[in-house]
Every structure is written in structure tokens, then in C-alpha cells.
Amino acid sequence: MFFCGMKRHFGVVLKKSCIFAFSIRSEISLMLLVHIPRMTNRLGYTLNVLFRHLLRLDFEITVDLDVFEHHDGPKLCYGRQQLGDGLFIRSCDLLFQTTIEDQQPRCFWYEEMPALYPVHNAESAFPFDIFAASFFCLARYEEYLPHFTDAHGRFPATESLAYKEHFLSMAVVDRWAVMLARKIKQRYPAMNIPPRVFDVEDTIDIDAAYCYRNKGFIRTITGLGRDFVSRENRGEIRKRMRVIFNKEHDPFDTFDYILEIHNQLPGMRLKFFPLMADYNVNDKPISYQNGEFRQLLQHLGDYAKMGLHASYASFDEPELVGVESERLASLMHRKTVRNRYHFLRLALPKSYDMLLDNGILHDYTMGYADEPGFRAGTGNPYPFFDLESDCETPLTIHPFAAMDSTFYYYKKFSPEAAEEVYRQLTDEVKGVGGVLSLLWHNQSLCEDFGWQGWRDVYERVLKYADAARKTKLEFN
């Protein structure tokens, strides 16, 4: 694996006999050999993601026509014209470019799925450049081009090609990878292609661990004053005081409930992302110095993995990522390696550069606030490619498919309507043997403040997904 700062990975000049190998097993005789006209960073990255990360398939890359023609195993030619007798995929220009250029890929439908970058060659296995289409989605190419942003500086779903062409709910890159694998298997029946296995990941953002408790004197008095002034909130005064004096359970403290649900779902991955910011207009966490909050996070760390919920403010003040990361690391006594940005504030490549600068190598922000679906066309983790630097980075992107707040605040869905979408997304990911990652908040499970009925959604969605967990999509 090559990364930025290491001779522009995949961008070296290949000698005539040079072969790049990406092997994860030792069955060399059945390794797929891919011939390309020349190596670029984009092309090497795309082949690596599709074959190695998504299909776990042995493959080699060569530019040597003689080596390709004499290879007696499975082979694939990617370029302008068919060479030899291997599987052929006609290329367009995208993966041979090195600069960011205007892209307006035409979308059409092929075998009941969307396709981008059409090609016109009767010998090509597909009527579109499956590698260019995948790269466009995975690299989030459209987010580097001029676009409108929302009030929080985010790229909204409504600006995306997937939303406009009505395929945001499809894990298209995973679908294309499966289609490619089946085409290879059809051409080379003896080739071993490992099954894709459906898995589920439950993630919880902790914007505020408590609703009333541990807010500090000033915030507590301010809250009481606000409740007193507002006739609608006066009923909250009694509840607030009962919680503060330990007569009633704090409604946002749903953590024992979450752990109990996961106790019924052994093996399902669980991650928490606490906000460790200083108090401001858009970041209103419990103080990271609060003793009970610190004990809570340490307790949760015994049962789940922890990641940083980098603050809203860090979007404009990059140095805060390091400050907040160190706060979490100091509390948990281990290095912070995961992150999800608060409000899902993500700007490429700036937001990911901030993480890399602080040694955070896994990000879970890849999804939309305003719509459910697959922002990058996949639910599977994959490496981040920086289009500005034209290279792959060490950061791994972990996309999520849906967030509770999307249905409640943006879509105004009932719990029942939201559950139906969750099930559809689950079926989509199960159908391609991918990873379903879901985003919830501890306060959305409080059964109060308008969230009545959402606990049932949480339980039923996780149990529905868990029933299919480890389902295999076979190719052999």
C-alpha cells in the first residue's frame, strides 16, 4: 500500500515487465491479471478498492502486453481496445486524468441498476466504465466541484447525482462490484471468489449525555428560567428538579438500555462517539471534566469501542480536533483513532486532512443529514482518496446508511414510516453482502420530547438486521 508523501503511490512509471501484485492468498495460478495501458494513482486506487477491499480477490496489474497474452489464468483488459482473449472493460478518460475537471456523467439504467460513464464497444463486458463510475462515487468527486452548501456548510444530499437520479437508496458501488464478480466467475468458473458477508454496526453519537443532570450551576439556572418564562415548558420545572435531586431518572441517560439491547444481540458491533467540546452555540455537551460523565464513558468503553465526536466549531477551527482528541485519549487511556463530526459537518478534503494531522485514521461521517442512503455508493469501509493531492491516504472511511435525526427533523417521518425505510436499507445491504452502519443518538431513545415510539424502532430495526447478520452472498 502506498500513501501520500511516498512517491505518489501507484503513480510511478512502470517498466515494460513490471507487475503490481495485490495478493491476499497464495493461489497464484488462479490470480486475476489486469492489463492497463498505463498506471495512474486513480486507476490503481480504484482497482485496489474493488478487487481487494470489496471482493477480497487476488489480482495483479501489468502494462506488459506479452506478459498478459501468455498468462494462462483469469485475465481482464481495461483500456480503449480489447487485447488478447481476456474479459474486456472499455475505459473512459476519468481514471487516466490527474487533475480535477468538470464531470457531468450521464446516468442510464442497465440490468435494473444505475450506470455512469457509458461506453460504446460491443466487446466490452458492460456498456459503461464500471471502474470510473465507482471512482466517481467513492472519491466523492462531485463534492470537489462547485456546489451549493446548506446553512452548516455541508454538501446536501439534494446536490448529489444519486439523489437527482433516484439511486441514493442503492449501494451502487457494491452492486457494481457484485456484478463484476459474477461476470468474472461466468468467464472463469474455476476462479475462487470469496463470499461477501452481511454485517451490522450500531453507532451512537453522544451530543449530551444528560438532559438535566451535570449541567453546571449557570446552565441549570438558565434552564429553569427558560422553563418558567415559557408556559409550554413550565411542566418541565418539576421534572428537572426531580432529576437533579435523584428522584427521577435523567431522560437522556439511555445507556443502560442500549447496553441491555446489545446484550440480546451478541456479536453486533457497537461504537459510541462522545462530544468533548467546550460549550458554544452549536456544541452543548456535558463538560469533559465532569466526574460522572467521565465515569460513564469509561464504563461504556468496557463494552464498546469509543470514538471522538469532533465539535461543530472544529470545522472552522482545525486545532480543536487535536484538543478534543487528546481529552478523549486522556480519559480512555488509549489513543483516539475514530471520529465522527458533529452535525456531520464534512468538507473534502479539509475535514479528513484535519483527522490525518492528528493521527485519526477512521472516520464515520460519510452520510447525509437530510436524506438516508449511501453517500459514497457503499456501506463498506474503504480508503479515502484525496482528489486535490491525487493520492490515496491512510484514512479509512466508514459510511453510514441512515441517522435517526434525518427521519425526525428533516423528513418528519413517523416511527413506523422510518422503520420501513430502515428495513429497505437493511435489505439493500444484505443483498450485496455489505456492512450496514446505523447512526443513533442516546437522546432519541428517551421516549420523551417527541421521541415516543423510537425505542421500538431501534429494537426492531437492530433485531431485523441481526437476524440476517453473517448471511453470505456466494459466487462459487
Phi and psi for 202 in degrees, rounded to 5?
Answer: -105, 125
Q: Is 27 a residue whose pLDDT tops 60?
A: no
More confident residue, 229 or 174: 174
pLDDT at 237: 77
Residues near 263 by beta carbon (within 8 Å), at least 6 away in sequence: none
| Contact present, 436 and 426 (Cβ < 8 Å) | yes
Question: Of 358, 291, 298, 299, nearest to 326 (Cα)?
Answer: 358
Question: pLDDT of 160-179, one tens digit each?
Answer: 999 999 999 999 999 999 99
- 349 closest CA partner among 158, 99, 140, 146: 140
Helix axes 350-357, 319-332, angle to 10 degrees: 50
- 255-258 CB contacts, 8 Å cutoff, 24+ apart: 255/209, 255/296, 255/299, 255/300, 255/442, 257/445, 257/455, 258/204, 258/442, 258/445
Q: Is the pLDDT of residue 455 over 50?
A: yes
Edge-first strand order for the sheet with 199-206 is 305-306, 269-274, 199-206, 435-441, 402-403
- The residue-averaged pLDDT of 309-337 equals 98
- 338-339 sheet: strands from edge to edge: 338-339, 362-363, 391-397, 382-386
Q: What is the mean pLDDT of the chain?
A: 92
Give me the residues paired with residue 473 across strands: 196
What is the rounded CA–CA span in Å between residue 404 and residue 419? 10
Whether the pLDDT of residue 5 is over 50: the answer is no
Q: Report, in angstroms and rounded to the nearest whole number, the Rg of the chain calculated over CA atoms.
A: 24
**What pLDDT does residue 249 have?**
94
- Host H or E run for residue 305: strand 305-306
Long-range contacts for 237-245 (Cβ within 8 Å, ≥24 apart)?
239/212, 240/212, 243/211, 243/212, 243/213, 244/212, 244/213, 244/220
The model's confidence at residue 229, banded by pLDDT at 50, 70 and 90, is low
Select from 5, 71, 2, 4 the least CA-distant residue to 35.
Answer: 71
Rounded percentage of the chain residues whose pLDDT exceeds 70 = 91
User: Residue 374 CA to chain centroid, in angstroms?
Assistant: 8
CA angle 405, 167, 101 (to 5 degrees): 100
Confidence band of 17 (pLDDT split at 50, 70, 90): very low
Domains and CATH numbers, the chain: 19-196 (no CATH), 199-473 (3.20.20.370)
| pLDDT 10s digits, 458-472 | 999 999 999 999 999
Joined grid coordinates for residue 121? 464497444
Terminal-to-terminal C-alpha distance of the chain: 28
Q: Give yes or no for residue 323 having a pLDDT over 50.
A: yes
pTM for the full predicted model: 0.93
Query: For the chain, how many helices (H) and strands (E)?
Result: 14, 18
Q: For residue 229, give the amino acid letter.
A: V
